[in-house]
Amino acid sequence: MVWLGTNGEGACQYSGLYLRCLTSLHGLNNNRVWDIARSASGDFWFATDQGVSVLKGQSMYQVYRGDTVFDTKVNDILLVKDRVFIATDNGLYVISNGVLSKLESDVILKVNRLAQKEGSSIWLATDSGLYTLENSILHRIDLAGPACQGPVAALAPTNESLWLGITGRGVCQLDFG
C-alpha cells in the first residue's frame, strides 16, 4: 500500500489495483495534504492546509490545541519516539504526552521540512535557513558558499551527510564528518 497526499483531493491509498481517497467528508481537516507519516503503532498522521488529522484504525481524528482545533497550515510531520513534531508557517509545534505546544523561540520561523538522522538532532528546513533542535533549543547552522544561502525547502539525510534543497539555487550537501 502506498499513501499519496494530493493538492485538493485528500489523502489517497493505492493498493496496486485501486485508489481510495479520504477527504474532509471522512474527517480530514482539509483536502490539501502536504505530508503523511506512519507511527510505530500503525496510525497515519496527515499534514494539511488546516492542521493535522490522525487515522487510527478506521477512525479519523483532528488535533486540538486546548479546546480549539489546531487549524494552522502544516508543511511536514516528524514522528520521534513518543513525540510528534509539526512544521508550520508559524513555527514548530510538538505533541508530547498528548499535549500540543509551540516551541518558543526568539525567531519566528516558517518551517518547511523536518528530518532526523537516527539518534541525532532534528533538522529544520526554514525560510531563514537551516536549524537544528537539541534539547528544545534551536541552533542556526551557518552554511558556507553562496549556493547554500537562502530558504531551505527540502532535506534528505544520509549516513554521511545532509542534502538541502535551496529555493532558487539548487541543492547543496552538508557533511556530517
Q: Tell me: the pLDDT tens digits for 60-79?
A: 998 876 666 677 899 999 99
User: Percent of the chain at pLDDT above 90?
Assistant: 62
Span 149-158, pLDDT tens digits: 899 999 999 8
DSSP at 42? S
Span 90-136, pLDDT tens digits: 899 999 988 888 888 777 789 999 999 777 789 999 999 999 998 88
* pLDDT reading at 2 higher than 70: yes
For residue 161, the cross-strand partners are 175
pLDDT at 13: 94
- Break the chain into its structural domains and give their ranges: 1-76, 104-177
| CA-wise closest residue to 152 among 84, 101, 51, 76 | 76
Rounded CA-CA distance 57/79 in Å is 18
What's the pTM value of the predicted model, to 2 decimals? 0.90
